């Protein structure tokens, strides 16, 4: 009964919710969300700097998340590059002095808080030509006014950034009297025009007063209450916001520190001054406000203008627009023709005559429809990660954000299980399942920011290695068994691997190496192909006649291993090869190929291990040493039990070692040699028991079929800022946002998979003469891309 209910439940779900209906729902969600965000931008404004300066929340104890955008954590060398030849001035009381110290420590972490606190404090980095001054003016009075007035004179050099604020001293000295508040308002009114004048050429910020923790205040500060602070803040805001008529004030309110203080003031030592972590957050916000528009960090979307369209992006937009228009015209003409040929009624018999029958779509219609859908999808990619329509947030790792989703998908995977069509080792359903659950774990790893937790990082490295292991196993098995080294097979694989990435390189203006996994798989496929296709071509059919051919293949594999070892330990030779034009255009990132060398070297042996495993398995299978019948163990019971025990111990041993890692660099150095242990252990555990080989999870297998699209699409429509952050479609509700964005993301990945398959049939014909013509057109297309890329590079620099 339970099995029947389970089967009926799955059928019910599949009957009412198909993939097609899911995609329609996803499209409706995108249109609705885009409309809502556009309306919100028009109503609330589109300046992320205002959000950075005024709103946000803590993700953890010390991680501040501004509303709607991402904040970059600046290092001292970045800060110096941004502030070269700049002068920054802090004017105010002891709280502003604290902010000054925290700001300077971003530039020079060794700077110490020393000297007389109630006087001016200069800082200068002569090498970077950066000057930061603190000017002691604890009250808003004539002294502060005179200091600011000097800068308004034309003959005096003005600071590039001015951060001012004061109030607590006025409250303290005048014992919180109302007369002092009135005088404060008069004084700030007289200063406001001067600040407004400076704000036309410099960045001017007025820091609103943070709350205090009244219980910790000393007796001589008891008059500084939060009620008084709020009154002084209201006075400052009302005066500065109304200092200009009929236009918005250029003086920016730094009010976000109030929100930060509300969460952290309890940690204060004296109830008045903020703890160091809070001051560092405020200083980092100031650095983001000024430097993001200059350095344009990928993970600092606050205060960044939308990047201008490149020449290739404009051409891509024109191409997709023409494709959409072309498909619509084709559809209208086809529909009108269908109406003309509609079945008509015979007046004598009263029966309908069917003049036409439903015909399959023509290649032209498939091409136009696929390009039309691809154009709309690319528009969504651009809106998510290049336009400023949707919001972005920083990642924040907690154990629960990683492990709870893992448990959830594991339960779903177990729920959707079916019998396999065949019970061979690593059969198609099983490899799809393997790819599927690995891809889901990797996605959760990326969105949760789990790379900061070393044990998880090391286990995910094994999952990436397992993908490459399957690349070696799968392609070796195909060439070994079928002996098909034709150009059609090569082109088909290369097209399916690279089509989406090439389009994204153009639309999202990113280098090919940015999507590192696809170049990695592509290069390894070509290595496998060249290794087996070169003379002498040794395939299973030929090798069956003599063991000599097996020895010859092992020599080929040994030579491949020798080449891998040479390149792995000769970085110079590796970089020279891949720095040659035009390879450099594909494999360079940030002007060099180091990232490519690092990625390749990290899993350098695992593809070879996959090829060697495939050769060993297929040889044993051919000699009928393995028992692959339904429900049968792979070997005799005794051998199976021994191997199963060794596999479990090996699997757990690797996990213990990975969990005890303390240094990422050292563990990465060992990873290429030892990752195969856990991969082989998993294969044996999954395949030795007959019952384990006979079932698979259709849930995981479904995701496995679109694993490459999922891995690539996540960069821009699930994550954000090129994987550095998280896309926010529904602000204020992280759980609902993840559900909706994930649903859209999976639907898009599935649709792209279908588009790729459809276009592969058109662009990669089986006829060799037609294929060669297509290859010539492809070569011309990539030559055009290289020329356009060179033009773009010159215009940038």
Distance from C-alpha of 257 to C-alpha of 55, rounded to nearest angstrom: 9
Q: Strand 130-136 vs strand 121-125: parallel, antiparallel, or unpaired? A: antiparallel
Q: Which of 17, 592, 66 is nearest to 287 (CA)?
A: 66
3 state SS for 687-706 = HCCHHHHCEEEHHHHHHHCC
Residue 230: alpha-carbon gap to chain centroid:
41
Q: Where are the beta strands (DSSP E) in 230-377?
A: 252-254, 344-345, 352-353
Which tokens in the block code for residue 393?
């947030």
Query: Are the C-beta atoms of 261 and 95 separated by less than 8 Å?
Result: no
Find the helix or strand (DSSP H, E) in which 86 lies.
Answer: strand 86-92
Distance from C-alpha of 508 to C-alpha of 548, rounded to nearest angstrom: 51
Distance from C-alpha of 729 to C-alpha of 727, rounded to nearest angstrom: 6
DSSP summary character for residue 538:
-
3 state SS for 197-225 = HHCCCCEEEEECCCCCCHHHCCHHHCCCC
Helices (H) and strands (E) in the chain, counts: 31, 15
Query: Are the C-beta atoms of 685 and 651 separated by less than 8 Å?
Result: yes
Query: Are the C-beta atoms of 533 and 476 separated by less than 8 Å?
Result: no
Distance from C-alpha of 174 to C-alpha of 181, rounded to nearest angstrom: 9
* Alpha helices (runs of H) in 45-139, residue ranges in sequence order: 48-54, 76-83, 94-107
Burial of 720: CB neighbours in 10 Å, binned 0-12, 13-18, 19+? buried
DSSP summary character for residue 210:
P
Distance from C-alpha of 193 to C-alpha of 197, rounded to nearest angstrom: 6
Phi, psi at residue 534, to the nearest 5°?
-65, 155
Q: Strand 130-136 vs strand 86-92: parallel, antiparallel, or unpaired? A: parallel
Find the helix or strand (DSSP H, E) in which 224 lies.
Answer: none
Q: Which of 167, 170, 173 is nearest to 207 (CA)?
A: 167
Residue 562: alpha-carbon gap to chain centroid:
35
Listed in sequence order, the residues at least 6 apart from 124 whose beta carbon sits closer than 8 Å to its beta carbon are 130, 131, 132
Q: Clarify whether 250 is annotated catalytic.
A: no
Q: Clarify whether 769 is annotated catalytic.
A: no
Burial of 756: CB neighbours in 10 Å, binned 0-12, 13-18, 19+? buried
Query: Are the C-beta atoms of 90 and 100 separated by less than 8 Å?
Result: yes
Which tokens in the block code for residue 143?
């002294």
Active-site entry in 87, 137, 250, 273:
273
Active-site entry in 47, 270, 346, 484:
270
Which tokens in the block code for residue 191?
């200063």
Distance from C-alpha of 425 to C-alpha of 430, rounded to nearest angstrom: 8
Active-site entry in 94, 277, 451, 584:
94
Q: Clarify whether 215 is annotated catalytic.
A: no
Task: Point out the residues that are catalytic.
Answer: 94, 270, 273
């Amino acid at each position: 009964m339970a099995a029947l209910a389970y089967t009926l439940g799955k059928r019910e779900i599949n009957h009412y919710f198909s993939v097609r209906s899911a995609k329609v729902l996803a499209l409706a969600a995108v249109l609705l969300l885009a409309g809502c965000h556009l309306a919100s931008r028009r109503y609330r404004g589109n300046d992320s700097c205002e959000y950075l300066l005024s709103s946000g929340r803590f993700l953890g104890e010390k991680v501040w998340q501004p509303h709607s955008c991402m904040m970059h954590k600046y290092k001292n060398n970045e800060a110096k590059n941004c502030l070269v030849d700049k002068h920054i001035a802090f004017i105010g009381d002891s709280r502003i002095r604290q902010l000054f110290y925290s700001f300077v420590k971003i530039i020079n972490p060794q700077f110490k808080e020393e000297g007389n606190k109630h006087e001016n404090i200069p800082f200068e980095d002569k090498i970077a030509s950066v000057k930061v001054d603190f000017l002691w003016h604890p009250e808003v009075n004539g002294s502060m006014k005179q200091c600011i007035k000097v800068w308004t004179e034309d003959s005096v050099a003005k600071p590039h950034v001015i951060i001012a604020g004061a109030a607590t001293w006025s409250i303290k000295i005048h014992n919180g009297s109302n007369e002092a508040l009135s005088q404060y308002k008069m004084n700030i009114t007289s200063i406001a025009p001067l600040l407004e004048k400076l704000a036309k050429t410099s960045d001017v910020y007025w820091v609103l007063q943070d709350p205090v923790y009244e219980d910790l205040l000393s007796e001589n500060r008891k008059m500084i209450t939060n009620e008084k602070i709020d009154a002084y803040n209201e006075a400052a805001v009302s005066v500065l916001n109304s200092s200009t008529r009929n236009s918005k004030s250029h003086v920016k309110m730094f009010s976000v520190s109030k929100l930060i203080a509300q969460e952290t003031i309890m940690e204060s030592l004296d109830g008045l001054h903020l703890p160091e972590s809070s001051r560092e957050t405020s200083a980092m916000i100031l650095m983001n406000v000024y430097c993001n528009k200059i350095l344009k960090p990928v993970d600092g979307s606050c205060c960044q203008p939308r990047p201008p369209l490149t020449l290739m992006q404009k051409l891509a937009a024109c191409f997709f627009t023409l494709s959409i228009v072309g498909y619509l015209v084709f559809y209208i003409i086809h529909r009108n023709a269908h109406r003309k040929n509609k079945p008509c009624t015979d007046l004598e018999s009263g029966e309908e005559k069917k003049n036409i029958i439903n015909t399959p779509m023509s290649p032209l219609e498939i091409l136009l429809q696929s390009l039309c859908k691809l154009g709309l999808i690319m528009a969504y990619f651009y809106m998510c990660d290049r336009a400023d329509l949707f919001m972005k947030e920083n990642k924040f790792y907690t154990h629960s954000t990683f492990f709870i989703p893992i448990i959830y998908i594991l339960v779903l995977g177990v729920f959707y299980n079916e019998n396999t069509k065949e019970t061979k080792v690593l059969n198609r359903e099983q490899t799809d399942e393997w790819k599927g659950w690995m891809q889901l774990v990797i996605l959760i790893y990326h969105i949760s920011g789990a790379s900061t937790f070393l044990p998880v990082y090391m286990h995910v490295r094994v999952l990436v290695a397992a993908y490459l292991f399957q690349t070696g196993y799968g392609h070796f098995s195909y060439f070994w068994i079928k002996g098909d080294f034709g150009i059609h097979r090569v082109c088909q694989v290369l097209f399916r691997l690279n089509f989406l990435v090439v389009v994204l390189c153009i639309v999202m203006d990113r280098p090919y190496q940015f999507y590192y996994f696809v170049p990695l798989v592509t290069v390894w496929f070509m290595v496998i192909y060249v290794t087996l296709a070169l003379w002498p071509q040794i395939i299973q059919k030929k090798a069956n006649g003599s063991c000599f051919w097996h020895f010859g293949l092992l020599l080929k594999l040994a030579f491949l291993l020798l080449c891998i070892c040479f390149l792995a330990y000769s970085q110079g030779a590796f970089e020279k090869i891949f720095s040659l034009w035009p390879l450099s255009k594909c494999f360079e990132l940030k002007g060099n190929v180091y990232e490519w060398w690092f990625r390749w070297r990290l899993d350098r042996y695992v593809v070879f291990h996959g090829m060697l495993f495939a050769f060993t398995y297929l040889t044993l299978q051919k000699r009928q040493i393995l028992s692959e019948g339904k429900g049968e163990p792979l070997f005799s019971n005794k051998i199976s039990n021994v191997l199963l025990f060794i596999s479990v111990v090996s699997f757990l041993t690797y996990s213990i070692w990975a969990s005890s890692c303390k240094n990422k660099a050292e563990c990465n150095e060992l990873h290429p040699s030892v990752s195969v242990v856990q991969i082989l252990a998993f294969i044996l555990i999954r395949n030795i028991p007959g019952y384990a080989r006979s079932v698979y999870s259709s849930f995981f297998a479904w995701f496995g079929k679109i694993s490459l699209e999922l891995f690539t699409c996540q960069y821009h429509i699930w994550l954000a800022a090129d994987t550095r952050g998280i896309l926010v479609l529904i602000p204020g509700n992280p759980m609902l946002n993840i559900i909706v964005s994930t649903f859209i993301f999976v639907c898009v990945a599935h649709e792209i998979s279908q588009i790729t398959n459809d276009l592969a049939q058109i662009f990669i014909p089986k006829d060799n003469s037609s294929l060669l013509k297509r290859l010539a057109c492809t070569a011309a297309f990539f030559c055009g891309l290289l020329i356009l890329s060179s033009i773009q590079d010159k215009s940038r620099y």
